[in-house]
Amino acid sequence: MKMRKLGKELTVSAVGLGCMGMSHGYGGQDEQEAIRTLHRAVDLGVNFFDTAEVYGPFKNEELLGKGLKPFRDKVVIATKFGFRIDPNASDARAMSGLDSRPEHVRDVAEASLKRLGVEVIDLFYQHRVDPNVPIEDTVGAMAELVKQGKVRALGLSEAGAAVIRRAHAVHPITALQSEYSLWTREPEGEILDTCRELDIGFVPFSPLGRGFLTGKIQKPEDFGPDDFRNTLPRFSAENMAANAALVKMLEDMAAQKGVTAAQLALAWVLAQGDFIVPIPGARKIPHLEQNVAATEISLSADELKTLGDLLAPEKFSGTRYAAQAMAWTNR
């Protein structure tokens, strides 16, 4: 497995594993099957695993704590805080807003440590920027956790460049996690340039377009009624039909190269910089193995430009989130 650096603190596999779908958002899966996938990831050299308190909520952290316990010294576990969560609500209704008050940061850290069954959280992200709490106050509380030995490194998610700079001035930020793929490129330009300048790793989530860029999803009926993609504008029947032709071009290019559409899309993300570590989700071992194999794919400058031009984001129909969720991004 090829390795990459996130900031100065963490050395991780070039591809990590986004674990949300094992217990949240996509209908979940059997616990034993999920643990087998986690173990296979370790076998393949993956050492970077991503979770959050809100996934489940809480269930995903517990799953990783159980599944990765035999490999604690070999893995880097990232988790996140930043939402108000009703512990008695269902998956879809658990989040009731943002909360990055310092006292909440401390409380979530203690709870996450227990659920993960670890003595230190390797990477602790603010899940979304809270407009009601100065980022300096939030990162100050996070920095105290580092001093106490409860957290190794700090991260932000879906933050804009100005917020990143303000946060980094309080305590070094190791990683920024945001959505990034062939069809979602908002981080390009100022945000990625800021990460390069400040030596901050960039961790793209949904680098396969929440599965759409694999070519395996054609219509809303291809996923279940509990799948949160039903709430995303890009996954309406009309927009999926409009976007299918673009994915077909990706599949054709992949076939010419002897790889899958998913592997080609992931290789494109990996080629955007050696400070970039995507975390595609995979609930099935064959999909995990394909994602790991993408780290061995080389793309020429011409291939990268052709891919980027053919699948330019403005050619896709539909926004990535509905209005309220979009309001939580790039504060």
Q: Is 180 one of the catalytic residues? A: no
Question: Which of 89-93, 149-153, 251-255 comes out lowest in average pLDDT?
Answer: 89-93
HSE value, Cβ hemisphere, 13 Å, CA-based, for 38: 30
**C-beta separation of 198 from 220 below 8 A:** no
Q: pLDDT at position 226, please?
A: 83
In this predicted structure, the answer to whether residue 177 has a pLDDT above a threshold of 70 is: yes
**Interval 166-192 mean pLDDT:** 97
**C-beta separation of 78 from 125 below 8 A:** yes
Residue 310 lies in a domain: no
Residue 314 lies in a domain: no
Mean pLDDT across the chain, nearest whole number?
94
Percentage, residues of the chain above pLDDT 70: 96
Q: What is the pLDDT of residues 58-70, one digit of tens each?
A: 999 999 999 999 9
3-state class percentages of the chain: helix first, strand second, coil last, to nearest 5: 45, 15, 35
Percentage, residues of the chain above pLDDT 90: 86
Residue 154 lies in a domain: yes
Q: How confident is the model at residue 327 (pLDDT cuts 50, 70, 90)?
A: low
Residue 290 lies in a domain: yes
**Interval 151-156 mean pLDDT:** 98
Residue 91 lies in a domain: yes
Q: pLDDT at position 129, please?
A: 97
SS3 12: strand
**Strand ranges in the chain using DSSP code E only, listed in sequence order:** 3-6, 10-13, 17-18, 48-50, 76-81, 83-85, 95-98, 121-126, 151-157, 173-179, 201-205
Is the CA virtual torsion 91, 93, 97, 101 positive or negative?
Answer: negative
Say if residue 57 is preceded by a cis peptide, omega within 30 of 0: yes
In this predicted structure, the answer to whether residue 324 has a pLDDT above a threshold of 70 is: no
Residue 192 lies in a domain: yes
Selection from 113, 163, 112 nearest residue 138 by Cα:
163
**Interval 112-130 mean pLDDT:** 98
Question: Which of 90-94, 129-133, 218-222, 303-307 comes out lowest in average pLDDT?
Answer: 90-94
Q: pLDDT at position 330, please?
A: 65
Rounded to 5 degrees, what angle do the CA atoms 33, 26, 70 make?
35
Q: What is the Cα 307 distance to its own chain's centre? A: 22
CATH of the domain at 102: 3.20.20.100
Q: Domain residues for 204?
A: 3-210+269-297
Residue 140 lies in a domain: yes
Q: What is the pLDDT of residues 199-254, one digit of tens each?
A: 999 999 999 999 999 999 888 888 888 888 999 999 999 999 999 999 999 999 99
Q: How confident is the model at residue 26 (pLDDT cuts 50, 70, 90)?
A: confident
SS3 84: strand
In this predicted structure, the answer to whether residue 93 has a pLDDT above a threshold of 70 is: no
Number of domains in the chain: 1
Q: How confident is the model at residue 328 (pLDDT cuts 50, 70, 90)?
A: low
Catalytic residue among 55, 125, 180, 321: 55
What's the pTM? 0.95
**Strand ranges in 196-310 using DSSP code E only, listed in sequence order:** 201-205
Beta pairing partners, 126: 81, 156
Q: How confident is the model at residue 86 (pLDDT cuts 50, 70, 90)?
A: confident
Residue 168 lies in a domain: yes
Residues constituting the chain = 331
Is the CA virtual torsion 146, 150, 155, 158 positive or negative?
Answer: negative
